[in-house]
Chains A and B, each alone.
Chain A
C-alpha cells in the first residue's frame, strides 16, 4: 500500500475520500518502496486501524484466519488469511499484544487471490486480527493464539 493513499484515507475516511483513492491506487507502482512508519509504530489495534486509514472496522465471516490455536513457539507462528469479500484490496495482520501491533500489510491487486500465508512472531498469547480493506471498507476477523513456553530454559 502506498503512503499517499493512506494519507488520503487518514484525513478523509468518508465515502468521498475513499472514492478518491481508487485512482491513486493504480499509480502505486512508483511508490512501491514506501513504508508506512506511522502504522508500524502503532501499539494497539485501534491505533493501527486509524493509521491504515480506517475509522471503524466490522467483523466479517468472509474473512478467515487459518492458524494454530496453540503455537509451540512464538518465534514462528504460521498464519494464513483468506478474504471472500469482493474487491479485496488489502490484507493486514495485527497482533494485539506484540510490542508493535502491525505485523504485515499486503496490497492485493486485481488478479491476485485475496489470500496470504506467512509466519509471524508473537511475544505472548494474544488476539490476532486479520484486517481487510475491500471496496474501500474495513473488515476484520479475530482469533486468539496461545503461545507456550518451550524447552528447558525460561
Chain B
C-alpha cells in the first residue's frame, strides 16, 4: 500500500514528550492484557461444550461422540489444528463449525437450519442497540462445542492439510477474497491486515501475510471477548470483520467464510495453537 506522501511528514515533527506518552499507553495496555491472562472465562464455555458433545440430543437422540472432525469418528484431540480440510462424505472443504453442522444433521437428525440457527452466543439477533454483539445470555450450542473442540488442540502446531485439490482451491479463493475491495467504504480484509504494526484505535492488527502475525491471530481464536462477555469463534471473527467492512452479511459456514479461514490457517501453518484465548 502506498504511503500518503503529503501527510507522512507530520509524523516526523511530533514532540518527543508525546511519543513517550504513547509508549506508556502501549505499555499499560500490554499490562492490562497480561493481567487478564490470569483467568479465562472461556473455561466455562469449554466445560459446557464437553458436556454437550456427550449429550444425546435431536430427533435421533444421539450424542456427537461419533462425529468425524477429520481424524476419524470421535477423535477430537488435535482435530481443530488440522481444519479446514476436505471431507469426502460431503465433498466439501469444511471448518470446525461446518463439520459440526454435518454431524448434528447426520448423527442427531437436526435439519441444517436447526443446526445453524444460533451460531454465535448472545447474538442470534442484535439485542442491544448500542452494543449489538452483546446479547443477553443467549447460549449457543455451536459456540460451546467449538470452544471445547478448539481447547483439545491447545499447544499443538497449526497444520491444515493442503493435499486435496479442493483444499488448495479454497486457499486460493480465500486469498482472492482477502484482497477483494468493495462496498461504501472501499474496504477489503487487506485494508486492515495488509501492513505490519498497525492499529485500529488501540487494537493491534495482524498482518495476515506475515507468518508470525497470522500464527498469533489464528492461534488465539476462538477467544473470550471481555468487551462482550462472550466466547467468539473463528466463524464469528469472519462474520464480524465482514460486517465492519460494510459488506452484506456473511452466511454462517458459507464457502466464502471457509475459504477465508483456509487461507488464514495456511498462513498460520507451524504456529502453536493457544485457544480459546482471552481478548479485549
Report which A residues bind B (CB closer than 8 A): 67-73, 75-76, 78, 117, 148-152
Contact = CB atoms under 8 A, between A and B. Distances in A.
B186 interface: no
B25 A151 contact: no
A152 B244 contact: yes
Interface of B: 24-25, 28-29, 31-33, 35-36, 38, 200-203, 226-229, 244, 280
Report the 5 A-B pairs with minimum CB-CB distance, sorted nearest first: A76-B226, A68-B32, A70-B28, A78-B35, A73-B227
Nearest to A75: B227
Give the dominant DSSP class at A's interface.
loop
Contact of A72 (B32, B38, B228): B32
22 contacts: A67-B35, A68-B29, A68-B32, A68-B35, A69-B28, A70-B29, A72-B32, A72-B202, A72-B280, A76-B226, A117-B38, A148-B202, A150-B201, A150-B202, A150-B203, A150-B227, A150-B280, A151-B200, A151-B201, A151-B227, A152-B200, A152-B244
Contacts of A75: 226-229
Given A150-B201, A151-B201, A72 B229 contact: no
B201 A149 contact: yes
Given A150-B227, A150-B280, A70 B201 contact: no
B229 A68 contact: no
A82 to B, nearest CB: 15
Contacts of A72: 29, 32-33, 202, 280
Nearest to A67: B35
Contacts of A67: 35
B203 A71 contact: no
Contact of A148 (B24, B33, B201, B229): B201
A152 B201 contact: yes
A78 B36 contact: yes
A126 B95 CA distance: 43
A148 B121 CA distance: 25
Contact of B32 (A70, A149, A151, A152): A70
Nearest to A73: B227
A13 B32 CA distance: 38
A152 B229 CA distance: 18
Contacts of B29: 68, 70, 72, 148
B61 to A, nearest CB: 39
Contacts of B28: 68-70
Contacts of A70: 25, 28-29, 32
B216 to A, nearest CB: 17
Contacts of B33: 72
A92 to B, nearest CB: 20
A97 B126 CA distance: 28
Contacts of B35: 67-68, 78
Contacts of A69: 24, 28, 31
A150 B203 CA distance: 7
Given A70-B32, A75-B229, 17 more contacts: A68-B28, A68-B31, A68-B32, A70-B25, A70-B28, A71-B32, A75-B227, A76-B226, A76-B229, A78-B32, A78-B38, A149-B201, A150-B202, A150-B227, A151-B203, A151-B227, A152-B201
A76 B36 contact: yes
A22 to B, nearest CB: 35
Contacts of A152: 200-201, 244
Contacts of B36: 76, 78
Given A78-B38, A151-B227, A73 B200 contact: no
B192 to A, nearest CB: 9
A40 to B, nearest CB: 20
B157 to A, nearest CB: 29
A71 B36 CA distance: 10
